[in-house]
Structure 1
Amino acid sequence: MKRKILVVDDDLLLLGSLGLLLSEEGYIVDLIDKSALVRDSIDVFKPDLIIMDILLDDGDGREICDSIKNSNLTTEIPIILLTALSHQKISEFDCQADAIIGKPYNAHILLQTAADLLKQ
């Protein structure tokens, strides 16, 4: 069975490239560019993994991550946060993400991290 990954980013170019990268690896991918759509997408798409930007036009990925992790229905979904923030800025906000990867991201590291989290 193919694994499903939800990707959330307000940068449409990055969103498209991530979708292509993950699709080429055999994943079923849902792409959204608004944080307000995350909850509905989780309910309908039922992702096995979420990859989300921290700095979204309409929300903070760290807060959305914690909301997902604090819900009994979604706590087990692994989450990778992507960010262009410095390590210092990232450490100023504690969140429950399973992994945080810097932008620009290394495709190999992102794919390996996703594969590792999906094995758990």
Structure 2
Amino acid sequence: MTKNKILVIDDDLSLLEALEAFLYQENFEVRSSSQHQSIYEVIVDFNPDLIILDINLGDADGRTICDELKNSDSTAYIPVLLLTGLSYDDISQIGCLADGIIGKPFESSQLLFHIKELLSA
């Protein structure tokens, strides 16, 4: 059985390492990066089944990157799950083309539920 591939982009290195370890433990193939600038090269090289993308990437906005991915024929099919430190009230105001949004902090079971839901869609 082939493992689903998940690409994680977040500039918080400790969260990135924790997500990578958790997803690996849950039997996913994981590639992670704190550098959003290389996302397109990583997508071509890794061919992920799902992208987990932080909204606040320091000098970039994950919502903009998400919309660029969703508006490109070569990446529009890849589900994107946004991570955000915004409150749940603020999350409801987020306008972008993401397939899902989850607030930080989150329970690992909640994240896993969203991932499995998006991969089975």
Deviations 1:54-106 (A, max 9, x none): 00013110000000000011111001000001234434441011110000011
Give the aligned partner of residue 32 of structure 2.
31
8 A contact 1:5–1:29 mirrored in 2 = yes
Structure 1: segments with no counterpart, 5+ residues: none
Give the aligned partner of residue 60 of structure 2.
59
Task: Kindly report which structure 2 residues correspond to 1:1-120, keeping only aligned pairs within 5 A, or say none.
Answer: 1-120=2-121
Classify the secondary structure of the residue corresponding to 1:56.
Answer: coil
TM-score with structure 2 length normalisation? Answer: 0.94
TM-score with structure 1 length normalisation? Answer: 0.95
Total equivalences in the alignment? 120
Deviations 1:13-70 (A, max 9, x none): 0000000000000000001001101111111111000001100013110000000000
Structure 2: segments with no counterpart, 5+ residues: none
- Percent of aligned pairs with the same residue? 47
Of 53-62 and 15-24, deviating more is 53-62
Q: 1:93 to 1:109 in 2, by over 3 A?
A: closer
